[in-house]
Amino acid sequence: MSVDFTKLKSFVKIVDAGSVSRAASILRTAQPALSQQVAALESHFKHKLLTRSNTGITPTEAGLVLYRHAQLLLKQIEQAQMIGAQDASTVPLWQSKQFAAVRSNVTGFESTLDPAYDIRFWLVGKS
C-alpha cells in the first residue's frame, strides 16, 4: 500500500475533529471508510496511530509525528499546486522546486518517487 493524500487528509481531519464520526460528517463520507483508511495507515507504518476512548480520539506518539508531517506536506502540496495552476507552463509537480522543498521538509520520513510518480512514505522509528 502506498500512502495517498486522501488518507493523509482524512487522518488529519480525524485528529482535528477528535472523532471518526465527526470527521466522517465533515468529509461527507462513511465512518467505516475512514476507519479503514486509518487501519491502512497503521498497517503501512506498523504503528498504532490513534488511541480510541469514550471521550474521543487522540494521536499516539507515532500518530502525532505523522499528523505534524501530514499537515506540513498537505499545506505545501496545496501551495505548490496553486503555483502550478497560476502558470500553465510550469514543470510537472514532481520536478518542481516546491516539491523538492516538500520532500526535504518531511524529516523523520523517508520518501521515494517511483516512475509512476506515486509518493510513498515510511515512518522511521527511533533506534
| pLDDT score of 99 | 56
Per the CB < 8 A criterion, the answer to whether 80 and 72 are in contact is no
96 vs 69: which has the higher pLDDT: 69
Would you state the cell numbers that stand for residue 3, as one nine-digit string?
500512502
Note the CATH number of domain 5-62: 1.10.10.10
Percent of the chain whose pLDDT exceeds 70:
64
- For 17-35, how does the pLDDT look when each residue is reduced to its tens digit (9 = 90+)? 999 999 999 999 999 999 9
Mean pLDDT confidence for 56-74: 93
Cβ-count burial of 67 within 10 angstroms (0-12 exposed, 13-18 middle, 19+ buried)? buried
**Is residue 42 pLDDT above 50, yes or no?**
yes
The residue with cell 467505516 is 32
**Is residue 114 pLDDT above 50, yes or no?**
no
